[in-house]
Structure 1
Amino acid sequence: MLAEMKGINEECGVFGIWGHEKAAELTYYGLHSMQHRGQEGAGVVASDGKQLKAHKGLGLVNDVFKQADFSEISGASAVGHVRYSTQGGKVFENVQPLVFKSQTEGMALAHNGNIMNAKYLRGELEGQGSILQTSSDTEVLAHLIKRTGLGINETSITEAINKITGAYAFVILTEDKMYAALDPSGIRPLSIGRLGDAYVVASETCAFDQIGATFEREVLPGELVTISDEGIASTRFAMRGRRKMCAMEYVYLSRPDSDVNEVNVHASRKRMGKELAKESPAEADMVIGVPDSSISAAIGYAEASGLPYEMGIIKNRYVGRTFIQPSQELREQGVKLKLAPVRGIVTGKRIVMIDDSIVRGTTSKRIVRMLKKAGAAEVHVRIASPLIQHPCYYGIDMSTHDELIAANHSIDEISEIIGANSVAYLSETGLETAIVKDKTIHQGICMACMTGNYPVKENSDQEAVYRG
Structure 2
Amino acid sequence: MSELFHECGIAAIYHLPSDEESPLCPDQGPNEVSRIMPRMLLDIQNRGQLAAGFTTFHPNRNQLIDTHRDIGTVQEVFRLSHRGKSESLMKEYAGRAAIGHVRYATCGQDDRSYAQPFERHHLVKHKWFSFAFNGQLSNYSELRDRLLADDDHHLSRETDTEIIMHELSREMTGEKRITMFEALKRAAPRFDGAYSMVMLNAYGEMLVARDPYGIKPLCYAVSGPLFAAASESVALINIGFEEDEIRNVEPGQAVTITDGKIEVKQFIESKRTAHCFFEWIYFANVASTLDNQSVYVSRTNLGEELAAIERERNDIPLDDGNTIVVPVPDTSKAAADAMAFKLGIPSREGLIRNRYSGRTFIESGSKRRRAAEIKYTPLREVLEDKRIFLVEDSIVRSTTMKVLINRLRERGGAKEIHVRVACPPIIAPCFYGIDMSTISELFAPKFMGDSYLLTEEMQEAMAQQLGADSLRYLPVDSIARAVNFSSDDLCQACITGQYPTEGGERLYQIALETKDQEANNSRTYERRAEEQAAQSTGA
Q: Which whole-Å CA distance do the structure 2 matches of 1:280 and 1:403 have between them?
A: 29
Distance apart, 1:229 and its partner CA: 4.2
Matching of residue 419 in structure 1 with residue 419 in structure 2: no
Q: 2:31 aligns to what SS in structure 1? A: coil
Distance apart, 1:208 and its partner CA: 1.0
Matching of residue 221 in structure 1 with residue 251 in structure 2: yes
Q: Deviations for 1:245-296, whole angstroms, at most 9, x for unmatched residues?
A: 1111111111100111111111100110001111235435111101100000
Q: Do the aligned partners of residues 381 and 235 (structure 1) sit closer, same or farther apart at CA in structure 2, a change above 3 Å counting?
A: same
Q: Which whole-Å CA distance do the structure 2 matches of 1:377 and 1:396 have between them?
A: 35
| Residue among 81, 93, 106 paired with 2:113 | 93
Amino acid paired to 1:96: Q
Amino acid paired to 2:11: F
Structure 2: 5+ residue stretches without partners = 16-29, 80-84, 448-457, 508-539
Q: Deviations for 1:360-416, whole angstroms, at most 9, x for unmatched residues?
A: 001111111111111100000000011001000110001000000001123222211
Q: Percent identity?
A: 34
Amino acid paired to 1:239: E
Q: Which whole-Å CA distance do the structure 1 matches of 2:505 and 2:441 have between them?
A: 27
Matching of residue 310 in structure 1 with residue 348 in structure 2: yes
Matching of residue 123 in structure 1 with residue 123 in structure 2: no
Amino acid paired to 1:46: T
Find the counterpart in structure 2 of residue 403 from structure 1.
441
Amino acid paired to 1:232: I
Find the counterpart in structure 2 of residue 159 from structure 1.
186
Question: Which structure: larger Rg?
Answer: 2
Greater shift, 337-346 or 408-417, is seen at 408-417
Find the counterpart in structure 2 of residue 145 from structure 1.
168
Q: Which whole-Å CA distance do the structure 2 matches of 1:408 and 1:460 have between them?
A: 21
Q: Which whole-Å CA distance do the structure 2 matches of 1:432 and 1:403 have between them?
A: 26
Find the counterpart in structure 2 of residue 465 from structure 1.
none
Q: Which whole-Å CA distance do the structure 2 matches of 1:75 and 1:449 have between them?
A: 41
Find the counterpart in structure 1 of residue 390 from structure 2.
353
Q: 2:465 aligns to what SS in structure 1? A: helix
Matching of residue 456 in structure 1 with residue 501 in structure 2: yes
Q: Do the aligned partners of residues 172 and 418 (structure 1) sit closer, same or farther apart at CA in structure 2, a change above 3 Å counting?
A: same
Find the counterpart in structure 2 of residue 13 from structure 1.
9
Amino acid paired to 1:37: R
Distance apart, 1:329 and its partner CA: 4.1
Counting matched residue pairs gives 451
| Residue among 188, 194, 199 paired with 2:222 | 194
Structure 1 residues 234-313: aligned runs within 5 Å: 234-281=264-311, 282-284=316-318, 285-313=323-351
Q: Give TM-score, length-normalised by structure 2.
A: 0.80
Amino acid paired to 1:417: Q
Find the counterpart in structure 2 of residue 204 from structure 1.
232
Structure 1 residues 66-77: aligned runs within 5 Å: 66=79, 67-68=85-86, 69-77=89-97
Distance apart, 1:319 and its partner CA: 2.9
Distance apart, 1:237 and its partner CA: 2.4
Q: Which whole-Å CA distance do the structure 1 matches of 2:422 and 2:39 have between them?
A: 31
Distance apart, 1:195 and its partner CA: 4.5
Greater shift, 204-213 or 249-258, is seen at 204-213
CA RMSD after TM alignment: 2.2
Q: Which whole-Å CA distance do the structure 2 matches of 1:449 and 1:139 have between them?
A: 26
| Residue among 366, 373, 384 paired with 2:403 | 366
Find the counterpart in structure 2 of residue 37 from structure 1.
47
Structure with bigger strand share is: 1
Q: Which whole-Å CA distance do the structure 2 matches of 1:179 and 1:46 have between them?
A: 14
Q: Deviations for 1:128-180, whole angstroms, at most 9, x for unmatched residues?
A: 31122322211111211121225342211211122111011011111221111
Q: Which whole-Å CA distance do the structure 2 matches of 1:195 and 1:388 have between them?
A: 41
Q: 1:301 aligns to what SS in structure 2? A: helix
Distance apart, 1:460 and its partner CA: 11
Structure 1 residues 329-348: aligned runs within 5 Å: 329-348=366-385
Q: Which whole-Å CA distance do the structure 2 matches of 1:459 and 1:371 have between them?
A: 39
Q: Which whole-Å CA distance do the structure 1 matches of 2:226 and 2:363 have between them?
A: 36
Distance apart, 1:86 and its partner CA: 3.1
Amino acid paired to 1:193: A
Q: 1:458 aligns to what SS in structure 2? A: helix
Matching of residue 230 in structure 1 with residue 260 in structure 2: yes
Q: Which whole-Å CA distance do the structure 1 matches of 2:185 and 2:478 have between them?
A: 37
Q: Do the aligned partners of residues 252 and 402 (structure 1) sit closer, same or farther apart at CA in structure 2, a change above 3 Å counting?
A: same
- Structure 1 contact 286–351 (Cα < 8 Å) conserved: yes
Q: Do the aligned partners of residues 64 and 262 (structure 1) sit closer, same or farther apart at CA in structure 2, a change above 3 Å counting?
A: same
Q: Which whole-Å CA distance do the structure 1 matches of 2:166 and 2:227 have between them?
A: 27
Q: 1:357 aligns to what SS in structure 2? A: coil
Which portions of structure 1, spanning 4 or more consecutive aligned residues, are displaced by more than 6 angstroms? 459-462
Q: Do the aligned partners of residues 268 and 169 (structure 1) sit closer, same or farther apart at CA in structure 2, a change above 3 Å counting?
A: same
- Structure 1 contact 341–371 (Cα < 8 Å) conserved: yes
Q: 1:211 aligns to what SS in structure 2? A: coil
Q: 1:162 aligns to what SS in structure 2? A: helix
Q: Do the aligned partners of residues 343 and 34 (structure 1) sit closer, same or farther apart at CA in structure 2, a change above 3 Å counting?
A: same
Q: Give TM-score, length-normalised by structure 1.
A: 0.92
Q: Which whole-Å CA distance do the structure 2 matches of 1:162 and 1:10 have between them?
A: 25
Q: 2:494 aligns to what SS in structure 1? A: helix
Q: Do the aligned partners of residues 130 and 460 (structure 1) sit closer, same or farther apart at CA in structure 2, a change above 3 Å counting?
A: farther
Q: Do the aligned partners of residues 328 and 43 (structure 1) sit closer, same or farther apart at CA in structure 2, a change above 3 Å counting?
A: farther
Distance apart, 1:320 and its partner CA: 5.0
Structure with bigger helix share is: 2
Amino acid paired to 1:453: Q
Greater shift, 61-70 or 401-410, is seen at 61-70
Distance apart, 1:30 and its partner CA: 0.6
- Structure 1 contact 290–355 (Cα < 8 Å) conserved: yes
